Structure 1
Amino acid sequence: MSQPRPRPASATASPTRIDAAGRRARLGRRHLLAPGCRVPRAEDVAEAVVGLHATDAATVHLAACARLVEPEPGEVERALYDDHSLVRLLCMRRTLFAVGAAFAPVVASSTAGAIAAKERRDMTRWVTGGLADWDERRLAEVEARTLAALAARGQATAADLAVDVPDLRDTIVQSPGKPYEATVAVSSRILRVLAAEGKIRRGRPRGGWTSSSFRWTPGTPFAELPAPPPAEARAALARRWLAAYGPATVEDLKWWTGWTLTDTRRAVAATDAVEVTLEDGGPGLALPDDIAPVTAPAPWAALLPALDPTAMGWKSRDWYLDPGHVPRLFDRSGNIGPTVWWNGRIIGGWAQRPDGEIAWRLLSDEGGREAAAAVESEAARLAGWVRDIRVTPRFRTPLERELSR
């Protein structure tokens, strides 16, 4: 059976053309990167970009502060750990995101729930296949005891929980005999799955805001959330994504969410998206109220962190990234490093040196002296709020390594 297709912008006219300049104008405004578009609260940032990448703990703070009127890590910590208005979910593409608490049920139903189910299947096979004296019944008992121990403590690290539940200390040797052989405690996989299901959540880290050593706290299982049905939730997520990242392509949305092509097309059809023509002449999608021209903001520069949601927002990136710069800005797994932006295009990269200096390099002469001056100002702004914290991306890229020396 054929899948629903986006309808043209007009029944009698060709699809509206939205060129790269129009897409970059939207990016600068909607992703809060132009100085005049910055916002006061971390929740506003997450809403604008749908969710903040959170695989690297530092990215959440760096990405949010790049878009805040007053950049301050404490503002992000307030939202994450005091007000719980931002929550971390393993969701799109099995990536950890920080999303608004009100939108979390939609993300859970559309994406995270299915990922959690797969994580559980994989973990169950891993534990019961790797440990002779473990079966599904024992696994369930250990999980129940772990949740009870966490409830009693209120918050705890994995090591704390292993004191109460010694079974968590059991280990499995992965890839025995291989160069990458590793001994892994079952606690790491069990806690990951419980978090993926919403039963526990990452609380305040043991160290500063760059630390990935989290204390765990009790959570709310997805099954208890008042969430819309999956198909309805996928449509809601697609609509929110198009509002932030459109115009874009079906392939962009499929890649960003990790959905099947069928689910992506059905979600798009439910948004009433219209077909537009993009800068390369190919078809794109936009919401019906987003086909009029958008005025570009005043010239702007931005220093965005590794895995920033804007840099990782689309599968097709030629309209904001020169393909020739990819080898220096990405690692071998496709993770982007810290980037320098000018008016909606990536023109370079940056890193922090051991003495705290923010070093940057332009890979393009686009914008000339005006761009260089604006980048220098943004580097000073970044150094001003990072202060004595040292940030090393979890995924190192060639240019970042070079600049950080």
Structure 2
Amino acid sequence: MDSANIAQARLANQLLGRDKKSTPGEVVDWLGAVQAQDFAAAKWAIGMRLHQATDAEVEKAYNAGQILRTHVMRPTWHFLSPQDIRAVQALTARRVRAGNASMLRKLELDGRLLSRCHRALAAALRDGQHLTRTELSSRLEAARIQARGQRLAYILMDAELEALICSGPRKGKQFTYALLEERVPKARPLSPEEALGRWARRYFLGHGPAQAKDFAWWSGLTLREAQRAIELSKGSLLRETISGNTYWRSPGGDGPEPDAGKPGGGGGALLLSIYDEYNIAYRDRGALGPERHLERLISMGNALTSVLILGGIIAGTWKRVLARAGVELAVSPFHTLRKAEKEAIRAAASAYGEFLGLPVTLHYAE
């Protein structure tokens, strides 16, 4: 197996080939977690991995609590399955809190004050109340706790890490929070070793082949913890040495071969967010394409939002402009496109428009 084979296996295991799921919950459960700070892009990431889906259907699953959104792992917002959220917070919250410690000191949020915040939030959200940030800010202020701007953001994140709160259904375009215990019934907690081994198996099932350092990066665990998790899962994982590096994958992965003639397949086109699991879930991103292409992307800084994938390899960037009448996609390829590649991009753009329920206009930019 070489880097090209790694890319093809990852396409299949990440549900970007012919093998798809039927519900948003099944996609998130398979992948373990889906990075979701860009909510619209995260919904598309799920939609691409479903047999048929629309933005509205993924949003409906989110509002119903079939998938939850919370700060976890690195940390940033992720979609998680309800059955995973407590175990993953128990595994990774300690390191996230350690990373937040200096900012908490700067914001004068010590343990005693955060406990007061937790009590105020629990009271505000009790009995199925789903409140926006602005509404929660008012409730905290009423409890004589200053809670605006970054201070509010870190108060809410800490409550998420405590497994006290999580996402509620949206109110129009606004996000809300809910009590986790009301959103997800409590279950038997896993032991630390059970949770470690289970999380490793889930990662390599939906992301393999990958290295221990990739799992550590994705999960927010230390490399030693990641290696321990793999050790606990060795009976369920396959090991392979590629170019001197050790890769792990699940024997239940590598699904059907990506369909070379179908958009989203091995030889097709993918219109991905930079935060899609295919791009973001690895410390070593060498399988994504030539070093010059990766350096070109890095040089774009914050201007980079989305990438074009052809045959599993980064081949350009794309941008979208939404309007009431439709969506305009501007694709900037890194090489002169062949006819088959243009056809694959056109099909991928059409699929994106169908997901949004909008007509698509596609053009190529420099």
Shorter-chain TM-score category? 0.7 to 0.9
Q: Which residue of the partner structure matches residue 56 of structure 1?
A: 38
Residues 352 and 358, structure 1, Cα contact 8 Å, conserved in 2: yes
Change (3 A) 1:291 1:193: closer
Tell me the SS of whatever aligns to 2:281. coil
Q: Does 1:188 align with 2:153?
A: yes
Greater mean alpha carbon deviation, residues 190-199 or residues 137-146? 137-146
Q: d(CA) in 1 for partners of 2:143 and 2:275?
A: 31
Q: Which residue of the partner structure matches residue 253 of structure 1?
A: 215
Residues 32 and 203, structure 2, Cα contact 8 Å, conserved in 1: yes
Residues 68 and 82, structure 2, Cα contact 8 Å, conserved in 1: yes
Q: d(CA) in 1 for partners of 2:91 and 2:303?
A: 24
Q: Which residue of the partner structure matches residue 276 of structure 1?
A: 240
Change (3 A) 1:154 1:120: farther
Q: Does 1:220 align with 2:201?
A: no
Report the CA distance between 1:41 and its aligned residue: 1.1
Over the aligned positions, Cα root-mean-square deviation in angstroms equals: 3.5
Q: Which residue of the partner structure matches residue 7 of structure 1?
A: none
Q: Which residue of the partner structure matches residue 369 of structure 1?
A: 339
Aligned pairs for 1:252-331 within 5 A: 252-272=214-234, 273-278=237-242, 281-287=243-249, 289=251, 295-298=257-260, 299-330=267-298
Q: Deviation string for 1:14-55 (max 9, x for gaps)?
A: xxxx22233223222222222x32332112221332221111
Q: d(CA) in 1 for partners of 2:221 and 2:199?
A: 11
Q: d(CA) in 2 for partners of 1:248 and 1:159?
A: 41
Report the CA distance between 1:126 and its aligned residue: 3.9
Letter in 2 for 1:284: T
Structure 2 unaligned residues grouped into runs of 5+ = 261-266
Change (3 A) 1:264 1:220: same
Q: Deviation string for 1:154-210 (max 9, x for gaps)?
A: 1112222344442578659xxxxxxxxxx83633321221122221122233444xx
Aligned pairs for 1:73-222 within 5 A: 73-82=55-64, 84-111=65-92, 113-115=93-95, 117-118=97-98, 125-128=105-108, 137=112, 139-151=114-126, 154-167=129-142, 184=149, 186-208=151-173, 213-220=174-181
Report the CA distance between 1:369 and its aligned residue: 1.8
Q: Does 1:384 align with 2:364?
A: no
Residues 329 and 337, structure 1, Cα contact 8 Å, conserved in 2: no
Change (3 A) 1:260 1:223: farther
Aligned pairs for 1:391-402 within 5 A: none
Please report the TM-score for the alignment, with normalisation by the length of structure 1: 0.75
Q: d(CA) in 2 for partners of 1:257 and 1:143?
A: 25
Q: Which has the higher strand share?
A: 2
Q: Does 1:243 align with 2:182?
A: no
Change (3 A) 1:108 1:170: closer
Letter in 2 for 1:276: E
Q: Which residue of the partner structure matches residue 12 of structure 2?
A: 29
Identity %: 21
Q: Deviation string for 1:349-390 (max 9, x for gaps)?
A: 111135521111211347x22122101111122123324699
Q: d(CA) in 1 for partners of 2:319 and 2:143?
A: 38
Greater mean alpha carbon deviation, residues 60-69 or residues 328-337? 328-337
Residues 106 and 236, structure 1, Cα contact 8 Å, conserved in 2: no
Aligned pairs for 1:331-350 within 5 A: 337-350=305-318
Letter in 2 for 1:86: I
Structure 1 unaligned residues grouped into runs of 5+ = 1-17, 130-134, 173-182, 391-401
Letter in 2 for 1:200: I
Report the CA distance between 1:97 and its aligned residue: 1.2
Please report the TM-score for the alignment, with normalisation by the length of structure 2: 0.82
Q: Deviation string for 1:245-264 (max 9, x for gaps)?
A: 22222222222222212111
Residues 306 and 335, structure 1, Cα contact 8 Å, conserved in 2: no
Change (3 A) 1:27 1:169: farther
Give 1 or 2 for the bigger CA radius of gyration.
1
Report the CA distance between 1:269 and its aligned residue: 1.2
Change (3 A) 1:137 1:39: closer
Report the CA distance between 1:297 and its aligned residue: 3.0
